[in-house]
Each structure stands twice: as structure tokens, then as C-alpha cells.
Amino acid sequence: MGWWCTLSVSIEIRRGGNIEKDIAQILDENPELNRPEPGKDALDYAKSLRSLAEDSVPAFVCHFYNTHFAHAAGGRMIGKLIADKNFDGRTLEFYKYNGEPKELLEGVRKEIDILATNWDEEGRESCLSETGNAFKGAGTVLQNLK
């Protein structure tokens, strides 16, 4: 069992299943479109995340935290703009949560804080120093969407 199993609230903020529903619906409504394949950079980022999850929990948590908090904060505003412009205001599943995102993220933040209490100075520094890579990796994924 992985360390992420200790983050019970994180289950409520997972977005993978929701975005799969959106993709399926968009492709169904637009048969001329094909599902895009992830680019090399996005695949490399995913591979590095899997490696971090095994090798450095604190470094991986930095990516986890930044990704989920970004999607739930600014991402929801972007989602509204996209929905208004492209989907007649229909909220995509990706932006729907089982509960209030602010409350869910507060629960995740608390769980991460508890997890981090067991980190030594090296672990805390690993998490902190990974911040730039987390933003770079997120940017890589966004570039894939062009």
C-alpha cells in the first residue's frame, strides 16, 4: 500500500475519471475529432512523477499539492471561461467536485501537513526545492493541449 493511501480526502479531488467523461462526451458530440495522444514531454513528466512517487515522497507531494490546488483555484475560473465560450456554459465534469472544493482542499492540506510532520530537514528541502519542477511540469502538460 502506497503512502498516498493515507490521504483519504485526496480521493474526492481526483480528476482523472471526470476528464475522461468530458473527453468521451466531446468526441461523441464532435465525431470529426480524434482523441489526441500525449506528447513526449507530457509522457516524460508522467514518468518522472511515477519515479518521484517511489523515490521521494516529499518531492512528489510538491507536484501533487501544486496540481490539485491549481486546478481547484484558478483552473475553475479558466473552466468557466472555456465552458461559456465553447460549451454553451455547460460545466465540464472536470470542474465538478463531490463537495465544496475549498473545503476538500483544506482537508488535503491538513492531511499533507500531518504527512509532512514525519519528514526530516532533507525531506522538507526536497519538497520545497521541487516547486520549480512542479510548475515546469504543469506547463509541459498545458503545452500538450495546444
Q: Say yes or no to pLDDT of 110 above 50.
A: yes
> Grid coordinates representing 71?
486546478
> Given pLDDT bands bounded at 50, 70 and 90, which one contains residue 12?
low
pLDDT at 6: 55
Contact 51, 119 (CB under 8 A): no
Q: What is the pLDDT of residues 53-99, one digit of tens each?
A: 889 999 999 998 888 777 777 777 888 888 999 999 999 998 888 88
pLDDT at 1: 41
Q: Say yes or no to pLDDT of 17 above 60.
A: yes
Residues whose CB is less than 8 angstroms from the CB of residue 117 and which lie 6 or more positions away in sequence, other chains included = none
pLDDT at 27: 95
Q: Say yes or no to pLDDT of 144 above 80.
A: no
Q: Where are the beta strands (DSSP E) in the chain?
A: none
> Grid coordinates representing 55?
523515490
- Give the other-Cβ count within 10 Å of 58's Cβ: 21
Q: Which residues of 59-76 are buried (b: 16+ CB within 10 A; e: fewer)?
A: bbbbbbbbbbbebbeebb
Tell me phi and psi for residue 73, to 5 degrees: -100, -95
Q: What is the pTM of this model?
A: 0.79
pLDDT at 25: 94
